[in-house]
Every structure is written in structure tokens, then in C-alpha cells.
Amino acid sequence: MIVGLGLIGGSYAKGLKKLGFHLSAIARRQETIDYALKNDIIDEGTITADPEFIKKADIVVFALYPHVFKEWIRDNQQFFKPGAIITDVTGVKSCVVYDIQNMLRDDVEFIAAHPMAGKEVYGVENADEKIFYGANYIIVPTEKNTDEAIEICRELALLLQFGRISSLSPEEHDEMIGFVSQLTHCIAITLMNCSDNELLVNYVGDSFRDLTRIARINENMWSELFLLNKDSLLNEMDKFLAEFKSLRDELAAEDTEGMKEKMRISTVRRALFDK
Amino acid sequence: MIVGLGLIGGSYAKGLKKLGFHLSAIARRQETIDYALKNDIIDEGTITADPEFIKKADIVVFALYPHVFKEWIRDNQQFFKPGAIITDVTGVKSCVVYDIQNMLRDDVEFIAAHPMAGKEVYGVENADEKIFYGANYIIVPTEKNTDEAIEICRELALLLQFGRISSLSPEEHDEMIGFVSQLTHCIAITLMNCSDNELLVNYVGDSFRDLTRIARINENMWSELFLLNKDSLLNEMDKFLAEFKSLRDELAAEDTEGMKEKMRISTVRRALFDK
């Protein structure tokens, strides 16, 4: 079962249904369910937390906003089938994983995961299981997780054709995501806020297009994600500011060697990504 | 004739030769000429500034480092055919265009241009005329330019299948390029200098990959371009720093509305690029 049929939840459903799994889903709006049924993304769906519907599921993937995810578990966990495994796709972990694990019934296990994939568009209409092909997938276990649940989570990633599957603690995950995901969104937002020149589109090259693709952003989701990871993200923003200031000061001082050294480092490090 | 058979010069040659033009080229190394001849990128080539070779060309495209371009004109302009039109692909303009136009013979015209296309790889071996398809092309005329030369420059862009063709003064060009191209390269370099974690490749998503693609950078060319546009680039870096700091401070103060407003602005502005 998938709870939350947005871009990511819809893409999970689409990918798994094509593999022959029976897919049920709970969404907020009936139109979402209707679209998903009509387009063969799910087998059955509902917009209420129907006990009979929920208790049929062996594995449940939550693709909700963090605070909605917690509320849903608080209000509806009594309906889970005993032995059910639940997992998620939430972009922040420390503030979610422990709270959920602490409030959850003993006979249900929550194993957290973060698929490092997305698109700058939203909704089940844009669901596309190909965004996962070869993408990174991070499993975020705690001491409470069993090897069996971690293995089920890994198999889910393999079924969806993710590439590298790795494992981080909630704290390591949040630090990493503050850097590779949240900081980059802050940069893209900032770039687009720097200039209100409507003719920009005539002058940009691929570099500006690439750096701002993610500037089309869901402000409700991302402001929540930023606040829930505030300390890590502030730390990454400050490190970036200091490093950027250093390059700026080298340029001001015409320190060519200093600038070249930073460029050599960036070239060598970035080359590792292309293997 | 193309002078300088790197990625961009080679891509010009490749695109124009496929259209049936006779392509001659001057490069620094014989291997470059041999490769270009063997792969049908040019019709003839040399590694010296051969007067007989140069004086056959009606149109000459310079794809050299800025200081090399100036030296070449100073040393060899006496060999141009009377009435020849010369153009370039140089990434900075104010420090190049006036100097070249001032030293150039009266019977040869230089019309500056900047194709907003590139790749993070180098050399004629990577030449690919498709990088120009639909890309932006900026013509950078001065008061010294004739309508005829500007029109020839525009036709060259149309032949190479560029998309939007626009016109900016050298000063407007350098301010714009400081923002859309040089600032973005500074950001990509900085991101890769922020962390020496070799496991990064396991955790990044497309956002980090996109924002750092251009971090693979030719340090000799780009440090020269940065220095030649120092004032504009410093100005853009400072504007970016202030705007980034503003987002950082909103996060620190948990000013959700302030962050959301920046995200709404970035979303609306970025959406214009996708038309």
C-alpha cells in the first residue's frame, strides 16, 4: 500500500504495479485515486483511513509531508496488520524516525528510507518510475530495526531499479541531505531571486539552466523540510558562505593560483561522479 | 576560416562543414589538424600563421583565449584579405572588443559574438555542433560595426541553428555573463570545495549533480575569464552573497513566510525558462 499519491508515491506505485504487485493506495483527493485507477497506476484506492483497507497491507510506503506522516501514524496505526512493515520517502529523518518508532505498536516495524530522486513537477499525473533508475537510495535504520526489515527495504529499492543503495544513521542522513539537497535548493532559489530581468531567458546557457532547474519548488514542502533540518542546513549554508567568500576574496586580490587550485580540486572531485 | 580548434572552434567547423562550406583552420598542434582532417571537420589546416592561407578567408571565427586572440591579431592582421569579416566566441567582451577594433586595419571588420553553449569537456575530439541547437547567441556590436557585418554574424548563428539571437553592448554583455555564467561556475566550484567526502557519489541526487556539472572546469581559461571581468563578477558575487545571507537569516529566525516568498519568486521566474 502507498499512502500519499504525489510524484514520489505515484512513481513507487507505477513501478511496482508494472512488476505485478497488487497496489492499493490512500490519497487525499478522489481525483487522484480516479486518475491512478484509470491510468493503471494502482489496483484500488480510497481517500479515507478505512480500517478494512489498511489491514490488508503487508508493506506500506508513506509518501507524505513529515508532519502529516506523524499525524497519520498517530491516528491510524491501530488498523495495521500485525507484522506489517512500513517505510517512507521523507526528506528529513532525525525529527521523524525516532518519533514514529517510539509511538508505533510493537508488532509493526518502521524502516526509514530516502530515495534520492525527484522532479521539479508535482502530482500523480507526473509520476514516472524511471526517475528511480540508477538513482541513489539511502536506508536509514536505527537500533530498533531488524535485519529482516532492512532487507525488505533494500529489496524494494532493487525492484524499483535504484542504483547505489547505502545506509546512514538519521543524524548522518540529515547532515548529508543538508549539504547535497537542501543547500543546493537554497542556492537555486537565491540565484533566481538575484535578478528580476525578464529577458534573462535570452542570455542564459546550460550552466544557469542547470543551476536553477530546482528553483521551481513547492514552497510548503520545502520550507517544512528546511525548518525540520534547521541546524544541519544552517551549518552547511555557513560552510558554503565561507568557502564562496574565500573564492570571492581571491578574485578581488587577483590571486590566480588560489582560484586555479579551487578549480583543480572541484574538477578532480566532480570527475568521480561520472564513473 | 576557424582560428583555434578546441571544443567551440571545432563545433563551429563541424556544423559549417556539414552545410557545405569550405572550412580552413589554424590550430596550435598538428595532431589537432590531423584529427580534424581525418574526421571531416575541416577541409584544410595549418599550425602556422601562413599569409597565403590566411588571405584566402572571407570570414574568420576566432575561438582562442582572450589574450591569445589579441596577440594573434596584433601579429598577423596584415595577412587578412581586404574586406574580411572577423568574429569570435570569447566569453568576455569589454576588455577584448575595443582593443581589437582599435588596433584592426580599416578594411577588416570585427563583430563580436558569444555563443552561450559549451560542455565540460575540451578539445576538437569532443566537438559537437548539436550543442548549438536552440542555444542562445549574443551579438556584441559597437558603434564601429556596420549593419552588414552584424547581419553576417546573425546569419552564422542561424546556420548553426542557434535559438534566440540577441544583441548587447560589451558592457551589458559582461554584466549579464558575470551573472548567468561566471557566478554559476563560482557556485559549482565552491560546492565541490565544501566537502572532501569521497562517498558523496553514493548520496547525491540530480540536484547536486546538476549544480556541480560545470565544476569540471579548465582552470587556465576560467581564471583568465574571471580576472578579465573582475568588477562585474565581484558585483554579482556580492549580490548573490547578500541574497543567500538573507535566506540563511530567515531560516535562522524561522521566518517561514519570508522563505516561502523567495521560493514563490524563484518558481515564477524559473518557469519562464521552460516555454
Q: What is the CATH number of the domain that holds A19?
A: 3.40.50.720
Calpha distance B171→A136 (Å, rounded): 44
Instruction: Judge whether B92 and B225 are in contact, CB under 8 Å.
Output: yes
Task: Provide the pLDDT for residue A120.
Answer: 79
Q: What total of structural domains would you count in chain A? A: 2
* Count of beta carbons in the 10 Å neighbourhood of residue A83: 9
- Statement to judge: residues B159 and B178 lie in one domain: no
What pLDDT, on the 0 to 100 scale, is given for residue B118? 87
- Considering the domain architecture, whether residues A31 and A62 belong to the same structural domain is answered as yes
The predicted model gives A66-83 an average pLDDT of 97
pLDDT at A1 over 90: yes
A114 and A46 both lie in a single domain: yes
Residues in chain B closer than 8 A to A196 (CB atoms): 269
Q: Are residues B59 and B157 in the same domain?
A: yes
**Between chains, do A193 and B219 touch, taking CB under 8 Å as contact?**
no
Cβ of B188 within 8 Å of Cβ of A211? The answer is yes
Q: Are residues A27 and A77 in the same domain?
A: yes
Domain edge (last residue) among A136, A168, A200: A168
Q: What is the pLDDT of residue A273?
A: 85
pTM: 0.91
State the helix-helix crossing angle for B66-76 and B94-103, rounded to 10 degrees: 0
From B168, B187, B217, the end of a domain falls on B168
The verdict on B97 and B139 lying in the same domain is yes
pLDDT > 90? residue A274: no
Q: Are A234 and A247 in a shared domain? A: yes
Say whether B116 and A200 touch across the interface (CB within 8 A). Answer: no
Identify whether residues B158 and B192 lie together within a single domain: no
Give the domain-ending residue among A106, A139, A168: A168
Q: Which of A117, A187, A188 sits opposite B205 (nearest CB)?
A: A117
Give the domain extent around A79. Answer: 2-168
Is A78 in the same domain as A43? yes
**Same domain, yes or no, for A78 and A184?**
no
- Segment A234-250 shows an average pLDDT of 98
For chain A, what is the largest distance between any 2 Cα atoms, rounded to a whole number of angstroms? 70
Rounded CA separation A205/A200 (Å) = 10
DSSP B172-223: HHHHHHIIIIIIHHHHHHHHHHS---TTGGGT--HHHHHHHGGGS--HHHHH
Per-chain mean pLDDT for chain A:
96
State ipTM.
Answer: 0.90
Residue whose cell numbers read 516561502: B260
CATH of the domain at A248: 1.10.3660.10
How far is the alpha carbon of A79 from chain B, nearest alpha carbon, in Å? 34
Regions in chain B scoring below 50 on pLDDT = none
Q: Do residue A217 and residue B263 have CB atoms under 8 angstroms apart?
A: yes
A15 and A149 both lie in a single domain = yes
| In the predicted structure, residue A275 carries a pLDDT above the cut 60 | no
pLDDT value of residue B120: 79
What is the rounded average pLDDT for all residues in chain B?
96
Say if residue A18 is in the same domain as residue A60.
yes
